[in-house]
Amino acid sequence: MLYSALLRPLLFKLLSPEQAHDLVMGGLQFASNSALASAALRAAFGSIPSAPVQAMGLEFKHPLGLAAGMDKNAEALRAWESLGFSHLEIGTVTPRPQPGNPQPRMFRLPEDEALINRMGFNNGGAEAAATRIHSSKHQSIIVGGNIGRNKSTPNEGAIQDYLAALNALYAEVDYIAVNVSSPNTPGLRDLQSAGSMRELLLAVCTEAKRLGGKPVALKIDPDSDKDHVQRTAVLAVECGVQGIIATNTSIGRSSLSTPEGRLQAIGAGGLSGAPIAKRSTEVVGWVRDAVGQSASVVGVGGVRRAQDVTDKLNAGADLVQVYSGFVYAGPAMVRQLSPAWKQ
């Protein structure tokens, strides 16, 4: 199609990954603010078969959504709706605005249909995101708020950051996703230890219940072993979490076609895209085995084709999300993947 044959090669050749992302987000933001442009997107890409899914106490039109990281600041909700996504997660957002890590911080691995990023939770803050959601005029797309702590906040103060972000977003989102698994904020993954995790999740779930009871999900990493994943999932459910999002990006670099010299030049960051598809699907299965039907499972990682969606659904996912795959597939992605749930 036009995107794969012309637009993607031009974007990849002429613009850095972050420049391309900003350009695309600018166009989608324009479409979100224009009824005519939103209607044009819907006519071109948004005819998606319905397959209702009950997950986290909410009803989704079909399983496929947009993962956190693409629309960090809730700038294009109507456009994502017009492209056919059933849901999206904004963020990760933090209580206070922060610039994220120094550039360059996003890298393409075309040989692997993958990305490496070390963005570092760059965002305009939770209150600004809430204001945008409130004024977005989106109609039926489900919105999750993916929250994290500010880089300047030590882990000892992390709970206060998560609660502040939760309170800022709560009225405007349908569910909250707790991100303690990004590899790009120093020390963040330390919050995945059992003691820290229990304290954080109990605080977040208690506050969400006090505010009205919207569901809370936990996003986990793909790098932990089976025992840790399953113990984390069980602990999360015990604390009141209603969804497990599996998985975030990986710090691994195994079995890549990208030359080793290129990887060394890129350096640290989270790997996403096709290379983590198998592992993330494996983690989905581990989580489902651990929690049974006591929580919903969201499969994320390496989704590019309809078979990838099918694999995650068969492994036990209720919902599936995409991020890197959208960079490589383009605006027709939801329609291209819809055979996975088309009756």
Q: Which residues contact 35 (CB under 8 A, 6 or more apart)?
A: none
Given 136, 181, 182, 296, which residue is catalytic?
Answer: 182
Q: Is residue 135 flagged as an active site residue?
A: no
Phi, psi of 210, deg, nearest 5: -60, -35
- CA dihedral sign of residues 293, 288, 188, 178: negative
Q: What is the dihedral of CA 19, 25, 27, 30, to 10 degrees?
A: -140
Specify whether the CB–CB gap between 264 and 320 falls below 8 A: no
Q: Which of 75, 55, 68, 38 is nearest to 180 (CA)?
A: 68
Specify whether the CB–CB gap between 288 and 226 falls below 8 A: no
Q: Indicate the burial class of 144 (C-beta count within 10 angstroms; 0-12, 13-18, 19 or more).
A: buried
Radius of gyration over every alpha carbon of the chain, rounded to an integer in angstroms = 18
User: What is the C-alpha separation between 154 and 150, in angstroms, rounded?
Assistant: 8
User: What is the C-alpha separation between 109 and 114, in angstroms, rounded?
Assistant: 5
Task: Report the catalytic residues.
Answer: 182
